[in-house]
Structure 1
Amino acid sequence: MAYDVIVVGTRVAGAATAMLLARRGLRVLAVDRARFPSDTLSTHQVQPPGVARLRAWGLLDPLLEAGTPMARTARFDPGPAVLHGAYPGPDGVLSPRRRLLDALLLDAARAAGAEVWEGFAVDGLRFEGGRVTGIEGEAKGGGRREAAAAVVVGADGKHSTVARAVRAREYRTRPSTSGALYGYFEGLELTGGEMYPRPDRLAGVWPTNDGLAVVYLGVPRAQFDAARRRGIPASLDGCGDLGERVAAARPAEHVRGTVDLPNTFRVPYGPGWALAGDAGLVMDPITGQGIGNALRDAEALAEALAAGLGGAARLPAALRAYHRGRDRERRAMYRITTGMAAFRPDRFGALLYRAIAGDPAEVTRFLGAISGAVPPRDYFNPVNLLGTVTGWRPTPRAA
């Protein structure tokens, strides 16, 4: 059987893309080497724009009913001042366990009509005349299989097999400069999310399922091994009282960590193929944007593929618009993320934080900007920041 689209990788980006395409009536095959439900290394955060997408797709209520807490407020404590406020709009930040979120999305793809092959490792693409025409691989337990499609979507992560096979061009690449540790703790009371940027680390703690809190610690790459040896609680000294609170909580799982944190854009389409999620654009997890970016890609790519394959638009033009929209939307947050991951001095930040700490509306705008609910390019442009700190605004020109 030939499919309209084969999606390689069925975690957030892939499962959501398969679901949305199947809901539009396309014949979809989704494959993954993993079996579900299963866990994966993740900051867990679904920022407000991602939460809004889950709501629109009918998937937010199942997550909430499964006990996923919604953090509608956050404490941002960079040292010079403490910002505490609410996120803009009706939604906050969700931090679901990945075994829950990924399985929910994949089940929704199946319910929409997508065929799913779990435990299937793609090890090659099929080409005809320079165009991708399908996949081939091996099921766990043995047995070669292949499948054909008009388009193969690589949603298979930062080390994407699809991206490598098509030699997707990389650009705006920045080196990996940080390491990340993740731990789960029981008995850590939270009223919302908490973030503690420091010159040599960034800590964040968020409520997740089963009454647990997930603690993230980002450090310069050169300090990663030392932080892992010390452990998360001891590495939180200087982050308010967070270190003491985490030390008093009960570790629920072993601490996980990685320095495999690349930053790069890839051209996300070509003859017979497209990329979504980390396969197309990956950035350091220090700003917690990965899941939201994956959901945005799924929505935009599904729209482009449905239009191109359904005849409403020429497929190359639709995919080119997907590419341009992705880059336009992500460029500012990518700069912010790579700067934070490099732990560059933030001289202007101290002025900004002191200026807005006593203004609840401005704190909400700031939280919106760092979560993507307010366009970062609008909030963090020099004119707006200068006006926020000094009260100066440019005089409008006369008509």
Structure 2
Amino acid sequence: MERTTTDYDVIIVGARVAGSSLAYECSKAGLSVLLLDKGSFPSDILSTHNFFNNSLAMLREMGVLDRLLGTGTPTYRRAHIQFDESIIDGEYPEATGEKDCLCIRRTHLDHILFQHACEQEGVTGIEGFRVTDVIMEGDAVAGVVGCFRDGRTERFTARLVVGADGRHSAIRSLVGSEQKMCVPTDYASYVAYVADYRQEGERCVEFYKIGENLAIIFPTSDDLFVVGVMFPLDNHQWRNRFTIDPETALRSFVDIHFATTRSSFPQRLQQSRVALPIRGLLGYDNDWHQGMGKGWALLGDALSFKDPAVGQGLHDAIYGSRVLTRILSATPHWESGWEEMAGSYEQEMESKMMARFQMACQFTKNVPTTEEQSAVNRLIGSSGEATAAFLGLYNYSKEPEDLEAVISRLMQGQI
């Protein structure tokens, strides 16, 4: 719903998952919102784009799950994981009443969420607007300056400006948010969308870590599977091969490095067809930034980017939008409450997300698997309870200490 004004309660820069979710939540709280994006929808973006079942509950509560499922994107419940010689195979535990997981392409997801946000009372959405600066009143952010695609410039003011504009956030840079943690990845990543890929048995996510190389496969939208491979960033031979001929490199890489998987993954990939251009991500930081200051806040990847292997980015974006809106709603006078709000926001986000952030930091480093860890992996794979506890880490139905307790009982012969 559009408003003919340049003054709002909240300006959100970035209208994909984080921004559109926040616009929806702010609308329900009675706030006026300007939702800006430099791009337009539908459009694609490099992303894991997976929701575990705990996130489907949030999408259902937002009223968009049926529209997302209406795209024909298949759901799944099972994971098949191989760490070297160890197999962990099972269903993700039920979370918040949901059993299904969903890996939906961003061409569908972002468009539907943006449309849904703009349908809400008090939300104005503008596509094709690039923010170039923030407006300051004293030491507080009070709005944004930017330009439309035709060159027209405009100023918009608000009580709060939120950067939901991704891991290279312009807002984060403009407000000078402090980087609190940073763990660079050791990996190069390449992502392909393939058609005619056939899985063995029940539809599932496949994950393989063989030595220093990783592969992950999700069923996704448009009758496709998304296939991601990762290898050490300093392996310039493979990086060059992917640069010269990405499809041939992908097929050769999988044939060579995943031949020892205890599944037919390499053969099934060879029988599939690459449907879209292969894209690469050469190095990234697992990072965490200051989340709020006077007149500004960060959300989603702008706040914290995590290794895609743990698949937590979309959950954290939606969850964070709820936390931020709740804190804003509980504080009637924002102008005198920035420090208290910032403390509450950062504390709650860290309390919720830090364990998975640390998981991502472990995945992102190319550290050989120890004999002890291999033994633990075999132990997890041998027990249905331990497998459920391990998979439950991904959908928040279990915490690391729950898995540790199960492993301890297994080692003591109590299970």
TM-score range, shorter chain: over 0.9
Paired position in structure 2 for 1:293: 316
Alignment partner, residue 396 of structure 1: none
Contact 2:216–2:229 (Cα < 8 Å) also in 1:
yes
Q: Aligned pair 1:225/2:239, yes or no?
A: yes
The change in CA–CA distance for 1:392 and 1:265 in structure 2 (over 3 A counts) is farther
Unaligned runs of 5+ in 1: 394-399
1:386 aligns with 2:408: yes
Question: 1:181-200 residue pairs with structure 2 within 5 A?
Answer: 181-190=190-199, 191-200=203-212
SS in 1 for 2:366: coil
Where in structure 2 are there 5+ consecutive unaligned residues? none
Find out whether 1:350 has 2:374 as its counterpart. yes
Q: CA RMSD in A?
A: 2.0
> Residue type of the partner of 2:253?
S
2:198 aligned counterpart, secondary structure: coil
Name the counterpart of 1:162: 171
Alpha-carbon separation, structure 2, partners of 1:373 and 1:234: 36
Shift in Å at residue 233 of structure 1? 2.3
**Counterpart amino acid of 2:380?**
I
User: Which whole-Å CA distance do the structure 2 matches of 1:384 and 1:83 have between them?
Assistant: 15
Out of 97, 105, 110, the residue aligned to residue 105 of structure 2 is: 97
Displacement over 6 Å in runs of 4+: none
Aligned pair partner of 2:358 in 319, 335, 360: 335
Change (3 A) 1:375 1:322: farther
Deviation at 1:372, TM superposition (A): 3.3
Query: What amino acid is the match of 2:62?
Result: W
The offset of 1:388, in angstroms, is: 4.0
SS at match of 1:232: helix
On the 8 A contact 1:11/1:102 being kept in 2, the answer is yes
Q: CA deviation at 1:376?
A: 3.8
Residue 327 of structure 1: how far off its partner (Å): 1.1
Superposed displacement of residue 352, structure 1: 2.1
Aligned counterpart, 2:227: 215
CA drift at 1:128: 0.8
Q: Which residue pairs with 1:123 in the alignment?
A: 132
In structure 2, what is the equivalent of residue 363 of structure 1?
A: 387
Alpha-carbon shift at residue 334 of structure 1 (Å) = 1.7
SS at match of 2:316: helix
Contact 2:389 2:403 in 1 (8 A): no
Per the alignment, do residues 32 and 309 of structure 1 end up closer, same or farther by CA in structure 2, a change over 3 Å counting?
farther
Distance 1:244 1:5, change over 3 A: same
Q: Which residue of structure 2 aligns with residue 171 of structure 1?
A: 180
User: What secondary structure sits across from 2:355 in the alignment?
Assistant: helix
Aligned partner of 1:397 in structure 2 is none
Q: Which amino acid aligns with 2:166?
A: G
Q: Using the alignment, how far apart are the partners of 2:402 and 2:252 within structure 1?
A: 35
Equivalent-residue separation in structure 2 for 1:3 and 1:110 (angstroms): 15
Q: Select between 225-234 and 108-117 the one with higher mean Cα deviation.
A: 225-234
User: Are 2:389 and 2:398, in contact at CA under 8 Å, matched by a contact in 1?
Assistant: no
Match of 1:278 in 2: 301
Give the deviation of 1:298 after TM superposition. Answer: 1.3
Superposed displacement of residue 235, structure 1: 1.6
8 Å CA contact retained: 1:110, 1:116: yes
From the superposition, tell whether residues 30 and 162 of structure 1 become closer, same or farther in structure 2 (CA, over 3 Å): same
| Deviation string, structure 1 residues 154-196 (Cα, Å, up to 9, x no partner) | 0011111111111101012112321111101111123111111
Against the structure 1 CA distance between its residues 209 and 283, is the aligned structure 2 distance closer, same or farther, given a 3 Å change threshold?
A: same
Deviation sequence 1:52-79 (CA, Å, 0-9, x none):
2112212111111211111111111113
Give the CA deviation at 1:49: 2.2
Question: Cα distance, 1:346 vs. partner?
Answer: 2.6
Task: Classify 1:375/1:167 alpha carbon distance in 2 versus 1 (closer, same or farther; 3 Å).
Answer: farther
- Tell me whether 2-11 or 330-339 shows the greater mean CA deviation: 330-339
In 2, Cα distance between equivalents of 1:367 and 1:341: 19
The 8 Å contact of residues 88 and 373 in structure 1, kept in 2 or not, is answered as no
**What's the secondary structure of 2:119's corresponding residue?**
helix
- Is 1:8 paired with 2:8? no
Do structure 1's residue 142 and structure 2's residue 124 form an aligned pair? Answer: no
Give TM-score scaled by structure 1 length: 0.92
Q: Which residue of 2 aligns with 1:82?
A: 87
Partner residue in 2 for 1:111:
119
Letter in 2 for 1:202: L
How far 1:122 moved relative to its partner? 0.2
Provide the C-alpha distance between the structure 1 equivalents of 2:377 and 2:28, rounded to a whole number of angstroms.
45
User: What is the CA–CA distance in structure 2 between the aligned matches of 1:226 and 1:202, rounded to whole Å?
Assistant: 18
- Aligned residue pairs total 390
8 Å contact 1:307–1:315 — kept in the other structure?
no
Retained in 1: the 8 A contact 2:84–2:211?
A: no
Report SS of the residue matched to 1:105. Answer: helix
2:234 maps to 1:234? no
Would the aligned equivalents of 1:154 and 1:279 in 2 still touch at CA under 8 Å? yes
Contact 1:309 1:315 (8 Å CA) reproduced: no
Shifted more, 10-19 versus 238-247: the winner is 238-247
| 1:43 equivalent in alignment to 2:48 | yes
TM-score relative to the length of structure 2: 0.89
